[in-house]
Structure 1
Amino acid sequence: MYIIKNHTLNNQLKGFYNTPALFENDYYGFTQFELEDIDVENFDISNIQILQQLPLGKRVEYFFDALITYSLNYERVLKNIQIIHDKHTLGELDFIIYDKKRDKYIHIEMQYKFYLYDESFENEIDRYIGPNRNDTLVLKLQRLKEKQFPLLFKEETKSYIPNIDLNNIEQKILFKCNIFLPRHLKNKKLSLINNDCVSGYYLSFKEFIADDSFKNITLFVPHRFDWLSAPSSNENWKSYNEVKDDIEYFINLKASPLIWSKYTNNGEIVIERFFVTFW
């Protein structure tokens, strides 16, 4: 069972905050929301109440809410507003905040993603795919543009946000992302996205098993919730033989686990993140 400890939650919060935005500039018609400079090293997490099994996507919403609550410039007005009409859920608005300095409301849709770069696709926008092949960047952007942003202005939504001036509101995305490149492209520079998002590499389970170099380093398979955290926070490194069965377990489930590795190169400690894929 996964137990949440304060230092674990703090590492997750720091990992969320420090993850770069996917795009350096506005993209696909979206304007990006930028978090303020916050001292997350000394951030008080005592008011963050997270159920231990809360999915990663919802978990980061708690972190964002805590950071906005801490802010002097913003006020959180509404969060996770489900729009239901005739017993059918039309969608959900992530956050509406109030910008005190600009006297303006902001509707924010949040995304926190892990994408693997698949060079087999012709267009770069199509190359960002979730580790389990069930999520893509291009489909996420289309959903934001065609469904989640227009939902704010639907007639059915008005009764859920009666005190929001829709003539004084703007819409932004907070899209934080971790990109993993094929191992043979570890140093490739990407043209579409913010290269600060490149967090590691990936290789297939077959390649992992065939590479004896992994037998000489320490490894760790973090819980999915801890994917947010920096690997340097880990204190429980294991041998290749100890983690091999864990990795194979996920592969048999058609899931691609994230791995942390630690080794010494020319006297310097190197810590990396990589995915082992089932495909």
Structure 2
Amino acid sequence: MNTKSRIASIVKGNSLDASVTGLPSFHLSELSIQNDLEFQLPTNIRLGHLAEKIVSELIKSSVNYKVLCEHFQIIEDQKTIGEIDFIIENRVDKKIIHLELAYKFYLFDPSISIDPINNWIGPNRNDSLSEKLDKLKRKQFPLLYHSCTASEFNTIDIDTVSQALCLLVSLFVPYEFKTKLSPVYEKAIKGYYLDLETFLSLDNPEKSYYLPSKKEWGMEASENGIWKPYKEIEDQIATSIKEKQAPLCWQKYKGTYISFFIVWW
């Protein structure tokens, strides 16, 4: 995995703002970072934790924010009831923020609802944007005000701490989807999704592919150096579909690069 490209994909990630989430937003563009960063990334953690590691390093490398606390577990009666992602401080005005971070991939299924926010689902239909926001509002953000949190943060006046969400998303719409979505969604659309039958009907010998690992999701397909014909990824796709795991696929064709999910549903 190209470390510099992985970091850049997070720095340039699209975040949903308060008009969608209903929560105060924190955009990574608010960080004042003077140099291009390249730092060691762990290889044995999941994608979400990888994103957290990168954001942590970005905040620490900025000149206007610092990390006071991260991955703080809230423990009650010897049981972990939740975890606070970050407590950060603005170096200029000294304001303290409880920051929650999420790095998600959602597909738009227009058949679910007339309200777009309900139509963004995970590639395997086992999570959704609306469920994520509900969890953040009901569970994650209230953790700051839990009695166990206050006792641990005895040097911080909890009542003066604001809260914000950095929800980085990569969005995918149905193949040949023509409906215009809100600009806040449009700017985060990275590609489309289709079923295996449609994918096979579009294949031709001039196209080459790469199936990125989960840790590579969100990176730029154009920066990939490994490309294969369909026959060399056929078995891998078939296995994923059989196991009801929608693979992300990068395609190179006539100097252009696209990203799409091949769904089993």
Query: Are residues 1:244 and 2:237 paired?
Result: no
Change beyond 3 A, Cα 1:272–1:49? closer
User: Does the aligned pair in 2 maintain the 1:208–1:214 contact within 8 Å?
Assistant: no
String of CA shifts for 1:90-122, please: whole Å, max 9, x gaps. 111000001111211000000110000001012
Q: Who is 1:66 aligned against?
A: 57
Q: Who is 1:20 aligned against?
A: 14
Q: Who is 1:169 aligned against?
A: 161
Q: Who is 2:128 aligned against?
A: 136
TM value normalised by structure 2 = 0.93
Q: Who is 1:112 aligned against?
A: 103
Aligned partner of residue 229 in structure 1, secondary structure: coil
Aligned partner of residue 158 in structure 1, secondary structure: helix
Q: Per-residue deviation at 1:215? A: 4.3
Aligned partner of residue 106 in structure 1, secondary structure: strand
The equivalent position to 1:271 in structure 2, one of 253, 257, 263, is 257
Q: Per-residue deviation at 1:194? A: 3.2
Q: Per-residue deviation at 1:258? A: 0.3
Instruction: Give me the whole-angstrom Cα distance separating, in 1, the residues matched to 2:66 and 2:128.
Output: 32
Amino acid at match of 2:26: F
Aligned pairs (5 A) from 1:1-279:
8-23=2-17, 25-35=18-28, 36=31, 38=33, 42-45=36-39, 48-50=40-42, 52-122=43-113, 123-185=115-177, 187-191=178-182, 193-209=184-200, 211-264=201-254, 269-279=255-265
String of CA shifts for 1:141-195, please: whole Å, max 9, x gaps. 001011100110011212232222212210000011000000020x542127331
Q: Per-residue deviation at 1:212? A: 4.3
Amino acid at match of 1:191: S
Aligned partner of residue 228 in structure 1, secondary structure: coil
User: Does the aligned pair in 2 maintain the 1:259–1:276 contact within 8 Å?
Assistant: yes
User: Does the aligned pair in 2 maintain the 1:98–1:104 contact within 8 Å?
Assistant: yes
Unaligned runs of 5+ in 1: none
String of CA shifts for 1:46-101, please: whole Å, max 9, x gaps. xx341x12000000000001100101111100000111111222111000001111
Instruction: Give me the whole-angstrom Cα distance separating, in 1, the residues matched to 2:175 and 2:182.
Output: 18
User: Does the aligned pair in 2 maintain the 1:115–1:178 contact within 8 Å?
Assistant: yes
Instruction: Give me the whole-angstrom Cα distance separating, in 2, the residues matched to 1:44 and 1:206.
Output: 41
Instruction: Give me the whole-angstrom Cα distance separating, in 2, the residues matched to 1:165 and 1:128.
Output: 37
Aligned partner of residue 149 in structure 1, secondary structure: helix
Query: Percent identity among equivalent residues?
Result: 34
Amino acid at match of 1:62: K
Amino acid at match of 2:263: T
Aligned residues: 262
Change beyond 3 A, Cα 1:128–1:212? closer
Unaligned runs of 5+ in 2: none
Change beyond 3 A, Cα 1:270–1:69? same
TM value normalised by structure 1 = 0.89
Aligned CA RMSD, in angstroms, stands at 1.7
Aligned partner of residue 92 in structure 1, secondary structure: strand
Change beyond 3 A, Cα 1:216–1:49? closer
